Structure 1
């Protein structure tokens, strides 16, 4: 399945075609000198994609010990290609060149990965991506725990169930244009289906569509892309959508940004916390081992999926 996404990306590795597509978009965005910018950026775009793909291909052939670094830098390259579509001047200043997030440099005694946090910086690639690609100018919170981030990825549900005996996601019925909030779902939150639908529409700009059945309320997807649906979380493995089972896990953060934060922290751990990292990989002393390894396998599949969907929607 993953190979299919990389094969689809081949269509975006023609500078002739990409130059025309970028020029059309820049004109639509009323950007001056669109022709010259599209010519300059078509080569950068293709090189970013190729470089990102090479990082991912190498990650598939490398030991777990260095996979976080390869995946993080591969994701960064792929995202830079996406940025060029909506931000032709990238990087317009040195403030967007840093990672845009930071992590605790020294791990405390009895450190657990799920309890670790990353902090979002005011400047850097992460806030720049949030603003340019998703129009998120002010993030809800500035610190994100690894547990909260992993709870945005439905494919992690099995790991949580087995190791922590937690059911983290509620499956949502959906069609091409609608999500259906039934009483079974709303009862979990101790409110009516109508009230839950209203809350979701108020917080996530969905259109509420009343249904003839009292027990079912539908929500119009409103042309929101798969990769940017919140709080509806997409599971690639079963092609279904889920809601978090707890209110504290409702996080208005596109999943590609969730992967950025997780892989940033894992890459920092693998580089600077060598003793802890190899102790984890060689002895598997606690639940961090299956959580991290399962996550990295998911990231290898979902990141190229989201990237190709973004490019196909935009170009």
Structure 2
């Protein structure tokens, strides 16, 4: 499945075509000198895309011990390719060059990956991408646990259920291309169906419509881009949408940014916590082992898919 996404991304390796698409995109965004900017960025776009792909392909042939580093550098390059579609002057200042996130100092004893946290910095690539690609601001100083971030990824649901005996997602039904919100779903959030619709409208800008049934509302799936469908999670293997089943796990972060945070922390662990990392991978002594390895396999498939989905919506 993953190879097909890279094959489809091959179409974006042509600077001739990319420059035309970028010029059209920049004109639509009202940038002056759209032609000049598209010429300057055509090669940069292709190089970012190719470099990201090479990191991912190399990760697929490498041991798990170094995969997080390769995947983090890969997602960073792919995100930069997406970024210059919307922000042709990137990087306009040196403040956007840093990673934009930090992980806390780890304790040697009783460390558990799921309980670890990551903190968002005011400046850097993460906040810049959140603002430019997803119109999300004021994330600086926010902290997220690894467990909360993993609970944003629908494919992780089965792992949580196996180890914690608890579902963390609700699978959404569809009706004529629209997502169905039911009273049962609303009850998970201790809300009425009407209040849930208002909540989604206020916080996530989704519009709901009457379904013709008293206990259901419809959400227009056509307007949802899979790369930016928070708080819903697109399940790539099942081609459907899931929703976290508690208000505490509803985030505004698009899943592409969730992957950036998870891979940043895992890459830092693999680089600087070598003893813990090898004990985990060689000894498989804790639940962190299946959670991390399952996540890495999901990331290798979903990240190129989300990048392709973004480009198809914007170029």
TM-score by length of 1: 0.96
Q: Which moved more, 1:180-189 or 1:262-271?
A: 180-189
Write the distance in 1 (CA, Å) between the matches of 2:222 and 2:135.
16
Where do 5+ consecutive residues of structure 2 fail to align?
none
Tell which deviates more after alignment, 188-197 or 147-156: 188-197
Q: Distance in 2 between matches of 1:64 and 1:122?
A: 31
Q: How does 1:1-315 map to 2 (within 5 A)?
A: 1-139=1-139, 142-175=142-175, 177-221=177-221, 223-315=223-315
SS at structure 1 position matched to 2:130? helix
Q: Deviations over 1:108-164 (max 9, x none)?
A: 420000000010000000001001100112228610100000000010011101111
| 1:222-278 deviation digits (Å, cap 9, x = unpaired) | 723111112111111111111111110000110000000000000000000000000
Aligned-residue offset at 1:221: 4.0
Could you tell me how far 1:176 is from its partner in structure 2? 6.4
* Secondary structure, aligned partner of 2:144: strand
The Cα of 1:208 is off from its aligned counterpart by 2.2
Bigger Cα displacement from structure 2, 137-146 vs 5-14? 137-146
RMSD of equivalent CA atoms: 1.4
- For the residue of structure 2 that corresponds to 1:64, the secondary structure is coil
Shift in CA distance, 108/176, structure 1 to aligned 2, threshold 3 Å? farther
Look up the SS of the partner of 1:237 in the other structure.
coil
Unaligned runs of 5+ in 1: none
Q: How big is the shift at 1:7?
A: 0.2
Partners of 1:30 and 1:300 in 2: how far apart? 35
Tell me how far 1:183 sits from its aligned partner: 2.2
SS at match of 2:52: helix
SS at match of 2:159: helix
- Does the Cα contact within 8 Å between 2:209 and 2:217 map onto a contact in 1? yes
Q: How many residues align?
A: 315
Measured in 2, the distance between the counterparts of 1:270 and 1:165 equals 29
Whole-Å separation in 2 of the counterparts to 1:173 and 1:251: 21
Q: In 1, distance between residues paired with 2:234 and 2:269?
A: 28
Cα separation, 2, equivalents of 1:85 and 1:58: 26
Distance 2:104 2:53 in 1: 29
Out of 215-224 and 37-46, give the one that drifted further. 215-224
CA distance in 1 between partners of 2:167 and 2:188 (Å): 12
Q: Is the 1:207–1:221 Cα contact (8 Å) retained in structure 2?
A: no
Secondary structure, in 3 states, of the residue corresponding to 1:195? helix
Equivalent residues of 1:244, 1:250 under 8 A apart: yes
Deviation at 1:194, TM superposition (A): 2.7
- Please say if residues 152 and 249 of structure 2, whose CA atoms lie closer than 8 Å, have aligned partners that are also in contact: yes
**Superposition deviation, residue 89 in structure 1:** 0.7
TM-score by length of 2: 0.96
When structure 1 is superposed on structure 2, of 56-65 and 162-171 the one drifting more is: 162-171
